[in-house]
Amino acid sequence: MISEERIILMTRMASYEDNEGKKNIAIGNYFRSDYLSLQVLKAVLCGTIVYFMLVGAYILYHFEELMSDIYEMDLMGTGKKLLTIYLISVGIYALISYVVCAWKYHNARKNLKHYYNNLRKLNALYKTR
């Protein structure tokens, strides 16, 4: 006999698996520290690439001006300023990435816990048959 409760539960679980379940299962396969460190490392790498692209674009745009003032510039001061801006911007980006990814990990684990509880319920419904 077909149980309406089992069909509703299986439909809900299949919908979860097709939509956000794929992402949550991929996130849930990691330990929390491994997932967060990987995501922060990717954020730092991307932030570094973007920073150097922006600095390169600025240099290309103002190339003539920079070349005419190169001998009057404080190169050490400019280098320290660029390094400080780099460290602050990438640090803030890494911190934001850490917070967002920790929140995503927490929600994924919570949703997976509900999914596994539904699996246990479904298994119990089949056993009581």
pLDDT at 5: 85
Residues 100 and 23: beta-carbon distance below 8 Å:
no
pLDDT at 41: 98
Q: What single-letter DSSP state applies at residue 30?
A: S
Contacts with 49 (C-beta within 8 Å, 6 or more apart), sequence order: none
Alpha-carbon distance of 79 to 93, in angstroms, equals: 21
Contacts with 59 (C-beta within 8 Å, 6 or more apart), sequence order: 66
Contacts with 4 (C-beta within 8 Å, 6 or more apart), sequence order: none
pLDDT at 129: 63
Residues 25 and 112: beta-carbon distance below 8 Å:
yes
Residues 104 and 50: beta-carbon distance below 8 Å:
no
pLDDT at 27: 93
Kindly list the domain boundaries of the chain, sorted by start residue: 4-127
pLDDT tens-digit profile, the chain (129 residues): 577 888 888 888 988 888 888 899 999 999 999 999 999 999 999 999 999 999 999 999 999 998 998 889 899 999 999 999 999 999 999 999 999 999 999 999 999 999 999 889 888 888 876
pLDDT at 1: 56
